[in-house]
């Protein structure tokens, strides 16, 4: 598949991580693009999040996204905001743009001032570098990721083909409740700003808001989308519905890969709760299970310890009668309305626990409320990675 028309990529090595690898990326459009974004709900919002939100509120088109890794520029006060503005000005001047044409995004260690000399060096290299590929950009924005996350889709309309590209980074500090760690979606379709914002926000709810690795919501999480219209196609009302579905498909694919690449993770856990009094209570229940260290470590240890799952459900705050609950693990029923069945399925459970993907499903028997989430198991490697993160 081809990338969306009118987009290009640049990467450079600024040295933020002290390694010989690109850590600065620019995702550019050769023409003004309609822009929209979804951002972290963490009240400690990083300087790039503050500036990105401010610029999107101005409703002006954008020409590019500037992404650095290694330094989050979070909890850095007014100096952090000034440094972020300066970094955008520096890059814009070298690309023949205005600072307001570019949106910032950062990830890395919280609380450290942005190393401006490194940034200037990286920006100079960025502007003078040869065009990179989308895969190069996806690699440049990774941190503890073990693989780059990139997704391409296209759709045929009567007047031609629309293309969509998604890039993301993330493996730890994952519990967005808004978007994801860093994610970017580009399309050459002509989409009005308000419609674009609605499409991204809707896709977020059914993708990035449905994943968790460790229950930690970052200060820098963002999803930003650019629609530059380079295909010359504005989808009809009928085509727009398919376009929505494809954007959701891209976001769900990227969010799945984030959980698949969870720091130290060996399994993807698909947790579903149905039959709650309402969706809110189903959400409480599903997140209680997903965030339980005991559930996650049991899954890593190949131990179908379903008692940890029911304990997490029971403390979630969701209202239900234990005698109405049915619990299953990848189709093997463990608890059925007051009856323990797990002891009769040991061989089946042993086979289930060896699988890379495990489905935990709880039916509460109270109403129509339902929710789901993707999460990972928890291993000693997760502890090692995060204990040594700044080493």
The encoded tokens of residue 291 equal: 């965030």
Q: Which residues pair with 71 in a beta bridge?
A: 109
For residues 21 and 122, the answer to whether their CB atoms sit within 8 Å is no
DSSP code per residue over 187-231: E-S---HHHHHHHHHHHHHTTGGGB-SSSPPPSS-EEEEEE--TT
| Alpha helices for the chain (secondary structure H) | 47-57, 77-95, 116-128, 134-140, 193-205, 237-260, 279-290, 293-300, 306-314, 346-353, 380-387
Q: How many CB atoms lie within 10 A of CB 335?
A: 19
- Of 76, 143, 180, 187, catalytic: 180
Angle of helix 293-300 relative to helix 306-314, nearest 10 degrees, comes to 160
**Full strand arrangement of the beta sheet holding 357-363:** 339-340, 332-336, 326-329, 357-363, 268-276, 369-376
The Cα diameter of the chain in Å comes to: 70
Q: Are strands 222-227 and 268-276 parallel, antiparallel or unpaired?
A: unpaired
Q: For residue 290, give the 3-state DSSP assignment.
A: helix
Task: Compute the distance between CA of residue 33 and CA of residue 52 in angstroms, rounded to an integer.
Answer: 15
CB atoms within 10 A of CB 112: 17
The burial class, CB within 10 Å (0-12 / 13-18 / 19+), for 346 is: exposed
What are the residues whose beta carbons fall under 8 Å from the beta carbon of 195, sequence distance 6 or more? 240
The reply to whether 40 belongs to the active site is no
Q: How far is CA 370 from CA 151, 215, 282, 288, 299, in A?
A: 28, 20, 5, 14, 23
CA distance 217 to 71: 17
Q: How far is CA 299 from the centre of its chain?
A: 23
Catalytic residue annotation: 180
């Amino acid at each position: 598949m081809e990338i969306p028309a009118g987009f290009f990529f640049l990467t450079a090595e600024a040295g933020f991580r002290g390694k010989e690898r690109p850590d600065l990326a620019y995702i550019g459009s050769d023409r003004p693009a309609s822009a929209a974004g979804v951002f972290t709900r963490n009240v400690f919002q990083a300087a790039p999040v503050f500036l990105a939100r401010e610029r999107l509120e101005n409703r002006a088109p954008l020409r590019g996204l500037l992404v650095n890794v290694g330094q989050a520029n979070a909890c850095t006060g007014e100096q952090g905001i000034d440094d972020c503005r300066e970094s955008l000005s520096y890059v814009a001047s070298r690309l023949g743009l205005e600072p307001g044409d570019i949106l910032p995004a950062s990830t890395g260690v919280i609380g450290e001032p942005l190393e401006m000399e490194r940034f200037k060096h990286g920006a100079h290299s960025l502007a003078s570098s040869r065009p990179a590929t989308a895969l190069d950009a996806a690699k440049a924005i990774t941190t503890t990721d073990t693989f780059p996350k990139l997704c391409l889709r296209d759709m045929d309309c009567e007047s031609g083909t629309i293309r969509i590209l998604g890039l993301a980074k993330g493996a730890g500090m994952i519990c967005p409740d808004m978007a994801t760690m860093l994610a970017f979606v580009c399309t050459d379709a002509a989409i009005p700003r308000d419609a674009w914002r609605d499409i991204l926000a809707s896709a977020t709810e059914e993708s990035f808001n449905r994943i968790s690795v460790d229950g930690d919501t970052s200060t820098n999480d963002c999803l930003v989308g650019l629609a530059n219209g380079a295909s010359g196609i504005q989808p009809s009302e009928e085509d727009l519905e398919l376009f929505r579905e494809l954007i959701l498909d891209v976001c769900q694919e990227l969010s799945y890969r984030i959980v698949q690449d969870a720091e130290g993770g060996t399994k993807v856990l698909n947790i579903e709760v149905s039959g709650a009094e309402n969706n809110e209570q189903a959400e409480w229940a599903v997140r209680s299970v997903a965030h339980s260290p005991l559930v996650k470590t049991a899954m890593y240890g190949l131990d179908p310890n379903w008692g940890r799952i029911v304990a997490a459900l029971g403390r979630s705050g969701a209202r239900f009668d234990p005698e109405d609950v049915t619990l299953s693990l990848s189709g093997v029923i463990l608890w059925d309305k007051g009856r323990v069945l797990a002891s009769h399925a040991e061989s089946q459970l042993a086979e289930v626990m060896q699988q890379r993907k495990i489905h935990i499903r709880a039916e509460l028997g109270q109403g129509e409320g339902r929710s789901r989430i993707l999460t990972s198991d928890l291993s000693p490697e997760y502890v090692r990675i995060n204990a040594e993160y700044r080493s």
